[in-house]
Structure 1
Amino acid sequence: MQVAMLRPLSIKEYLEGEEQADMRHEYVAGQVYAMAGAKLRHIQIAGNVYGLLWQKTLGSHCQVLNSDMKVRVAAVDAFYYPDVVLRCGVPLSGETLYLEDPCLVVEVMSASTENVDRREKMQAYQSLPSLQEYVLVDSEKAVIEVFRRHPDGWWHELLNDPENDKACFQCVDLSFALADIYVGVDLPSALATGCP
């Protein structure tokens, strides 16, 4: 029996491959991981967040991008596809393949992605000097978590009251009701109402 040793891909090989690929892949230290498709709830929630940010940033020096834009995290030799990403500053060229300086990253969590979003990606994204907020949005119940950079470290804010809680993004001076993120989304009824 022959055993072949797979060598890690270079960043150049990864980027060239992604331009030709039929599906998206994330890259971590030379290894490539295919991204599975998302459920409708996930797509709707990400779309709602994107829409709220798009309205706020229209005509500004900020760009909001969806899950087709990669973010490079050089500190951990990785490229990720966040669900929604925002960067502010000098506009990028239309030929840009990835961002390195987002100020806001939003990940919509599902049961299959929560551990990676909450651990690996959070640690990686927080190493970006430009990042001001990392937001985790639950796709099964109306709960979001905002991790916000402060001079003395990262602060955590839990929002779980759709009637009263407001999400505030300092990166773009935007606040909106938690319920706005879940407009039109069919959450599992038991989880949406908080019933056992």
Structure 2
Amino acid sequence: MTEPAFRKLTEDEYLRLLEESDVRYEYVDGFVYAQAGAASAHNQIAMNLAVMLSPVARKAGCLAYQSDMRLQISLNTRKYYFPDFLVTCESVTPDTMVVSQPCLLVEILSPSTARTDRHEKWTDYQQIASLQTYLLLDGQHRAASVYQRTSEGWQYFELGEGDTLQLVCPAVTLTLADLYDGTSL
């Protein structure tokens, strides 16, 4: 018996697949990638982000979303990702399922996603004009990597214990202790 051949899906086929499935799939250059469940620490970190950032985002006229809000990136081709957390100030309705203008994107790294989050996604994310901060949080150790947009371009730094992160959008200061509260990390 032969293995089935992989074929690229059109954007319309991908969108139909999402409508018909309970599984979340990301779409990159015609290929779809199923998104697996997450560990306890991952979920606690995401919850901490929601608790800390949602009220601040709303006061600024923005909204914060956990992993079920789809992000569309339109470069040479369209790509769809499901970031672990995002903040957007674009206009949304109760039926909105896709955003394209985030000011903050967060990925919580796992062994299976770290390479993609650090390389392929970062290559795409840095092209988003509205993006101010890309935050990478380690899901197995208390560590954070940050890309922030400045007038000179993107600045990269890592957060250590006791360091603070001043977000521009939403305007709030965070620490590793805040982000990892409730985890054993």
Deviation at 1:2, TM superposition (A): 6.7
Check 1:78–1:60 CA distance in 2 against 1; reply closer, same or farther (3 A cut).
same
- 43-52 or 5-14, which deviates more: 5-14
CA distance in 1, matches of 2:55, 2:132: 20
SS in 1 for 2:27: strand
Corresponding position of 1:69: 69
Corresponding position of 1:100: 100
- 38-47 or 5-14, which deviates more: 5-14
CA distance in 2, matches of 1:146, 1:136: 6
Please say if 1:130 is aligned against 2:130.
yes
Q: Size of the alignment, in residue pairs? A: 184
Q: Which amino acid aligns with 1:34?
A: A
Any unmatched runs of 5+ in structure 1? 188-196
CA distance in 2, matches of 1:3, 1:40: 35
TM-score (norm 2): 0.92
Q: Which amino acid aligns with 1:83?
A: D
Q: Which has the higher contact order (CA 8 A, sep 6+)?
A: 2
Deviation at 1:32, TM superposition (A): 0.6
Q: Which amino acid aligns with 1:147?
A: Y
Corresponding position of 2:174: 176
Q: Is the 8 A contact 2:57 2:87 kept in 1?
A: no
Deviation at 1:99, TM superposition (A): 0.8
SS in 2 for 1:171: coil
Deviation at 1:131, TM superposition (A): 0.8
Please say if 1:79 is aligned against 2:77.
no
- 121-130 or 52-61, which deviates more: 52-61
Measured against aligned partners, the alpha-carbon deviations of 1:52-71 in whole angstroms (never above 9, x if no partner) come to 11121234310101100010
Deviation at 1:147, TM superposition (A): 0.1
TM-score (norm 1): 0.88
Corresponding position of 1:149: 149
CA distance in 2, matches of 1:116, 1:3: 26
- Answer with 1 or 2: which has the greater Rg: 1
Deviation at 1:167, TM superposition (A): 1.8
Check 1:12–1:160 CA distance in 2 against 1; reply closer, same or farther (3 A cut).
same
Deviation at 1:96, TM superposition (A): 1.5
Give percent identity, aligned residues only: 36
Corresponding position of 1:186: 184
Deviation at 1:171, TM superposition (A): 1.6
Deviation at 1:176, TM superposition (A): 2.2
CA distance in 1, matches of 2:6, 2:112: 26
CA distance in 1, matches of 2:54, 2:145: 20
CA distance in 1, matches of 2:2, 2:178: 56
Q: Is the 8 A contact 2:28 2:79 kept in 1?
A: yes
CA distance in 2, matches of 1:146, 1:106: 9
Q: Which amino acid aligns with 1:84?
A: F
Any unmatched runs of 5+ in structure 2? none
| Backbone CA RMSD of aligned residues | 1.6
Deviation at 1:5, TM superposition (A): 4.7
Q: Is the 8 A contact 2:57 2:169 kept in 1?
A: no
